[in-house]
Chain A
Amino acid sequence: MRNEKIKRITFTALMTAIAVVLSFVESLLPTAYFMPPGSKLGLSNIPVMFSASKLTVGETLLIVFAKSVFVFITRGFTAFCMSLAGGILSALCMIFIFRKTNGFGYMGIGILSALCHNAGQLIVSFFLVQTTAIVGYAPVLLIASVGTGFLTGTLLRLVMPYYTKLKEMEK
């Protein structure tokens, strides 16, 4: 039904808008000194996580892509590549988790999402500088992933009922 399609597109656009706003908000936050340079809180990933669980694969990837385009406009080409790589990797991972596995709670999902996102970024960095020197960043990113993953996972758990309600409203 055409109506349904429009509703789905609108909802996806809504999720994208939220992701973009969160991305902008994140860029305004001052960097805490103990966070490794380059890592982000991952707030803009929360709508993507919801999408991975409740929307189609296509819609999820679309949100990731749109979010990355926003990053491209505001922070340049390199940031765009990192956001895209990290976003796609973590989105795919979460789709897999939500659909195929059972044992993880929101914290675990958040941590895995952060891990994948950071891994995607490291890979892009590797292609850009082409030296294994980047390996040095890995341990610190691992630890940071735990912290940010827990944060985003918890936040997702908190907003889950609201997002779900929103989705119900379209029926």
Chain B
Amino acid sequence: MVKKSKNLLIISAVVLVVVIFTVSLFSSMTNDAEASNFAMGSPVDIKVYGEKDGDALCGYAIERIKFIDNVYLSHTISSSAVSTLNRDGKLTADKWLGDYLTECVELSAKSDSFTLFSGDMKDLWQIENGGYVPTDSEIADLLQKLENTELIINSNEMTLQNGKIDLGALGKGTACGEAIDYLKKQNVEKALVTVGGSIGAIGDESFSIGVRNPFGGQNDYFAILNATNCFVSTSGDYEKFFERDGIRYSHIFDATTGKPVQNDITSVTVVAESGTVSDFLSTAIFAEGIENGIKLADEFGAEVIIVKKDKSVLVSKGLENKLTINDNSFSISVIE
């Protein structure tokens, strides 16, 4: 009798230990992790689903984003590549930066209204400082200077002449892309990266992405987009702007006029296969206007959602079935 109960005791102890062990292992394996932080002047949010080391992966992805910001793109850190280039006029770039700047130059060449050298324009219009409307002659001088601004890339030697480089228009998309690349290398199967208004998604299942309502607050969205394995970036005139005499001057510049863009667009959302491209296009299409903007999107095989100031919305054919509108004051038409 004693032997029987002893055996039972051992068996049940083992069973219970196995159960507890399996349950805790299972719960740590299907851990959905999330981390939030701040970089490039915007909130950063990383979600990694179903990975054992989810928290660590989120952390490293954030570190990657901060690295890109601190070492390459930042304006506020004086040792960053951009700051150095702007201050000294030259820089020896590493492979990553060399390839990246080459890509930026190629992208910029596709749109006349877009420029990498918006630094002087931003300074003149004091977008960060309350805003200032320059005189026509100041603008003419600016345009003249822009004409002579050039970034010369000679293998890994960068030379910047006559201007200031500003990669803010594509930087967040790039950061998203870098974080996603990192997570993919770690074999993460499902993740969502948000850097400011740029979003990157990995996974077979689609994510629900809210499309920001340009007329509402930070968390207002007028439609939900089903996004799978892609990047989504938005540029809007509501992000950074100042108003003077009833005119809104946004932070998106038209390089051909030297002024903030004035057209009937209030926001452009782009769905593309690369973070940098999606962010670049969201700015470039906005600056180019609807007709040229749509052509530009086609060139890259990207899809767009363009919201006009009258609340009418133009949507690429490929997105028609992926968009669910939840605010009827917006009227949707599909771009043929």
* Interface residue? B23 (CB, 8 A): yes
Contact with A along B20-43 (1 / 0, CB 8 A): 100110010000000000000000
Q: Are B9 and A147 in contact, CB atoms less than 8 angstroms apart?
A: no
B189-228, CB < 8 A from A: none
* Interface residue? A154 (CB, 8 A): yes
* Interface residue? A127 (CB, 8 A): no
* Smallest Cβ-Cβ distance to B16: which chain A residue: A150
Dominant secondary structure at the A interface: helix
Q: Are A147 and B20 in contact, CB atoms less than 8 angstroms apart?
A: yes
Q: Which of B12, B23, B27 contacts A107 (CB 8 A)?
A: B12
Which chain B positions have C-beta within 8 A of A34?
A: 20, 23-24, 27
Q: Are B24 and A154 in contact, CB atoms less than 8 angstroms apart?
A: no
Q: A71 CB to closest chain B CB, in angstroms?
A: 26
A107-135, CB < 8 A from B: 107
Q: Are B27 and A154 in contact, CB atoms less than 8 angstroms apart?
A: no
Which chain B positions have C-beta within 8 A of A107?
A: 12
Complex alpha-carbon distance, A34 and B25, angstroms: 10
Which chain A positions have C-beta within 8 A of B27?
A: 34
Q: A156 CB to closest chain B CB, in angstroms?
A: 12
* Interface residue? B335 (CB, 8 A): no
Dominant secondary structure at the B interface: helix
* Smallest Cβ-Cβ distance to B24: which chain A residue: A34
Complex alpha-carbon distance, A65 and B233, angstroms: 63
Interface residues on A, range: under 10
Count residues on chain B whose CB falls below 8 Å from chain A CBs: 8
Q: A78 CB to closest chain B CB, in angstroms?
A: 28
Q: Are B23 and A154 in contact, CB atoms less than 8 angstroms apart?
A: no
* Interface residue? B77 (CB, 8 A): no
* Interface residue? B18 (CB, 8 A): no
B10-64, CB < 8 A from A: 12-13, 16, 20, 23-24, 27
* Smallest Cβ-Cβ distance to B21: which chain A residue: A34
Which chain B positions have C-beta within 8 A of A150?
A: 12, 16
Q: Are B16 and A147 in contact, CB atoms less than 8 angstroms apart?
A: yes
Complex alpha-carbon distance, A34 and B29, angstroms: 13
Complex alpha-carbon distance, A33 and B23, angstroms: 12
* Smallest Cβ-Cβ distance to A143: which chain B residue: B23
Complex alpha-carbon distance, A33 and B12, angstroms: 23
Q: B6 CB to closest chain A CB, in angstroms?
A: 11
Which chain A positions have C-beta within 8 A of B9?
A: 154, 157
A143-171, CB < 8 A from B: 147, 150, 154, 157
* Smallest Cβ-Cβ distance to A151: which chain B residue: B16
Complex alpha-carbon distance, A34 and B21, angstroms: 10
Complex alpha-carbon distance, A147 and B16, angstroms: 8
Which chain B positions have C-beta within 8 A of A33?
A: 24
Q: Are B20 and A154 in contact, CB atoms less than 8 angstroms apart?
A: no
Complex alpha-carbon distance, A23 and B150, angstroms: 74
Q: A31 CB to closest chain B CB, in angstroms?
A: 13
Q: B4 CB to closest chain A CB, in angstroms?
A: 12
Q: B26 CB to closest chain A CB, in angstroms?
A: 10
Which chain B positions have C-beta within 8 A of A154?
A: 9, 13
Which chain A positions have C-beta within 8 A of B16?
A: 147, 150
> Could you list 13 A-B pairs, sorted by A, with CB under 8 Å?
A33-B24, A34-B20, A34-B23, A34-B24, A34-B27, A107-B12, A147-B16, A147-B20, A150-B12, A150-B16, A154-B9, A154-B13, A157-B9
Given contacts A34-B24, A34-B27, 11 further A-B contacts (CB under 8 A): A33-B24, A34-B20, A34-B23, A107-B12, A147-B16, A147-B20, A150-B12, A150-B16, A154-B9, A154-B13, A157-B9
Lowest 10 CB-CB distances: which A-B pairs, in order?
A34-B24, A150-B16, A147-B20, A34-B27, A147-B16, A154-B9, A154-B13, A107-B12, A34-B23, A150-B12
